[in-house]
Amino acid sequence: MKHAHQWPVATAKARFSKLLKEAEANGPQTVTRHGQPAIVVASVRDWERKARRNKSLVEFLMDSPLKAAELKTSGLKIKWRESGL
């Protein structure tokens, strides 16, 4: 996942206010550790847009292109256990 700008962790720590401004203005920013992506800093606006659920799980499954697929279940060994509830 490549974002607009990558920040080594030392730079991100030293310029945290700038990192926040960049995330708000230009989208998610990646903080790297030893050259590898470690975390992404995103604005609340971007996070809420990505995290928003548009459909219920049932609606999602019903819209799946696999819903009409015939799954082969013979040969599956399923052990049911009581939940104790």
Give the separation between CA 29 and CA 24, rounded to whole angstroms.
9
The ranges assigned to domains in the chain are 6-62
Residue 1 confidence (pLDDT)? 47
CATH number for the domain formed by residue range(s) 6-62 = 3.40.1620.10
Question: Which tens digit of pLDDT belongs to each residue from 59-84?
Answer: 877 888 877 777 776 777 777 777 77
pLDDT level of residue 25 (50, 70, 90 thresholds): very high
Residue 49 has pLDDT above 70, yes or no: yes
Residue 4 has pLDDT above 60, yes or no: no
| Cα Rg of the chain, angstroms | 22
What proportion of the chain, given as a percentage, has pLDDT over 90?
49
